[in-house]
């Protein structure tokens, strides 16, 4: 799971870099922003799942 999370974070960093460098068109920036928003949601979901697993382990 962490490997996937780290890959998504790396893709997010790349998206931010592309948007910030100002070399992308408006359409590209919008597409990158939408992809970034999806990645953030997926990262949050992974973290929530991990947190639930840790909570369950703590109860055992």
Domain that holds residue 46: 2-55
Count structural domains, the chain: 1
- pLDDT at residue number 26: 94
* 60 in a structural domain: no
- pLDDT at residue number 3: 83
- pLDDT at residue number 1: 62
- pLDDT at residue number 59: 86
Q: Could you give the CA distance from residue 23 to residue 5 in angstroms, rounded to a whole number?
A: 27
What's this model's pTM, rounded to 2 decimal places?
A: 0.81
pLDDT tens for the 60 residues of the chain, in order: 668 999 999 999 999 999 999 889 999 999 999 999 999 999 999 999 999 999 999 987
* 13 in a structural domain: yes
Distances, alpha carbon 36 to alpha carbons 5, 21, 33, 47, in Å: 13, 16, 5, 16
């Amino acid at each position: 799971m962490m490997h996937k999370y780290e890959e998504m974070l790396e893709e997010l960093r790349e998206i931010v870099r592309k948007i910030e460098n100002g070399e992308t068109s408006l359409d590209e920036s919008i597409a990158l922003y939408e992809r970034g928003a999806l990645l953030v949601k997926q990262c949050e979901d992974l973290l929530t799942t991990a947190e639930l697993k840790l909570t369950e382990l703590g109860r055992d």
